[in-house]
Amino acid sequence: EGDTAFEESENIEVRRLPLADAIEMALSSEITDAISVAALLKAREFL
């Protein structure tokens, strides 16, 4: 589609892990990206 323009200060790490672990990481502030945390907490409603 288009090129991604990352900023030099961005630190992006992609990891595959169980959803329950990701939710726990969001709740313990290991995941701090607001959009990611919101998506994980919303997904938790459907478990």
The yes-or-no verdict on residue 39 having pLDDT over 80 is yes
Residue 1 pLDDT class (50, 70, 90 cuts): low
Per the CB < 8 A criterion, the answer to whether 37 and 31 are in contact is yes
Q: Which pLDDT value is given to residue 38?
A: 98
Instruction: Tokens for 9, please give them.
Output: 């200060």
Q: Per-residue pLDDT averaged across 6-35, rounded?
A: 91
Taking the domains of the chain in order of start, what are their residue ranges? 15-47
What type of residue is 36? S
